[in-house]
Structure 1
């Protein structure tokens, strides 16, 4: 798996996935293509998805983007909406 991990510092020389971690790929919305580290998440947490802080969404600084697991492909979290 390759790509940039959500939350990695822009100056990090290795912003990609780390060995021994579990990731889902964010699809659509402002965080499209980023990987989310879900290491240690319970099945319930994975089913509920994630609310992620981002300045890139509809609400700008302080906004959040909501991502949920894709039916039949839980290694992908699809964008659902933005919230303030």
Structure 2
């Protein structure tokens, strides 16, 4: 199984032993980019919350500590589309 297949259906930021989705949580799908296919926990995120997220990733353009930028899709708030990558904090 390659890294991309391994990450699909897993929750971003969850512990590897407990990375599957939980029935009591709400998730959005990350679409495109290095985190494609992962689920983002949006349970505590109100509808008016920021529509962009910068998620730390080891596998993006900037390597360890870099960020993958995603924006909530207007037509489907349960999906976040990839905008690009950015370097991590200095």
* TM-score normalised over the length of structure 2: 0.81
Aligned to 2:11: 5
1:26-63 per-position Cα deviation (integer Å, ceiling 9, x unaligned):
00000000000011112222x52211000111100110
Q: Any unmatched runs of 5+ in structure 2?
A: 1-7
Deviation at 1:69, TM superposition (A): 1.0
- What is the CA–CA distance in structure 1 between the aligned matches of 2:66 and 2:19, rounded to whole Å? 23
Aligned to 1:24: 28
SS of the aligned residue for 1:30 comes to coil
Aligned length: 80
Q: Any unmatched runs of 5+ in structure 1?
A: none
* TM-score normalised over the length of structure 1: 0.86
Aligned to 1:56: 59
- What is the CA–CA distance in structure 2 between the aligned matches of 1:37 and 1:53, rounded to whole Å? 14
- Segments of 4+ moved more than 4 angstroms: none
Pairwise CA RMSD: 1.5
Aligned to 2:47: 43
